[in-house]
Every structure is written in structure tokens, then in C-alpha cells.
Amino acid sequence: MMEIAGAGVMVLFGAALLWWARASRRGTFPRQRILGYRTSRTLRDGDAWVSAHRAMAPLLFVAGGGSSWPHSPPRPRSWSGTRMSVEYCSAAQSCGGWS
């Protein structure tokens, strides 16, 4: 169940990034102090804000598409890292181990 919830959060995050990229490319992303490329110059000058966000739009599209892309299914519990580390430790100790 947690895997499905995690996947849903990633899809929503990706959709938000894609919205941000689209608004940045169109020049309609509103100037604000919470989200965006915030520097003293972009916050002071509207043209600098639009230019910076238009330049960022391709990277935001890539980030949004990557986080929305379906990922591989979760690994079965038998492949857990704990089991692998225990096997590695026992093999290392049988070969001389650590002091």
C-alpha cells in the first residue's frame, strides 16, 4: 500500500513540475517569494523573472517527466539490503574477516 502511495506522490510532484515548466515557458509564472528562481534581481525586475524562468523551462520539463515516468516495481522482500549485507559480512569473516 505504501508503494502505491509513494508512486502517487511522485506522479503529483511530476505534474506540478510540468505545470511549473509550462507556465515558465509561456511567461505566465507569477513572481513570488515561495517558488521560483528567486534572486534580488529577478524579484525586483519582472523581465528578469520571465527570462530566468523561460531559460529554466526545459530543465523543469525533464524533471517533471522523469518523476512522472512509471518506475520499476518494488523489489521482493527477499532481496533486502539487510540480507545481502549479512551474507557479505559472513563471507568476509570466513576469508579472514576484519580485525
Pick from 15, 90, 94: nearest CA to 60: 15
Query: pLDDT (tens digit, 9 = 90+) per residue, 45-97?
Result: 999 999 999 999 999 888 888 776 665 555 555 544 544 444 445 444 555 55
Listed by start position, the domains of the chain span: 2-94
Residue listed under C-alpha cell 505534474: 15
Q: How is residue 88 written as a grid cell?
A: 557479505
pLDDT, residue 55, reads 93
Mean pLDDT in residue range 13-28: 91
Helix or strand run (H / E) with residue 73: none
Phi-psi region of 70 (alpha: psi -120 to 50; beta: other; left: phi over 0): beta
Question: What pTM, to 2 d.p., does this model score?
Answer: 0.61
Half-sphere exposure of 27 (CA within 13 A, CB side): 5
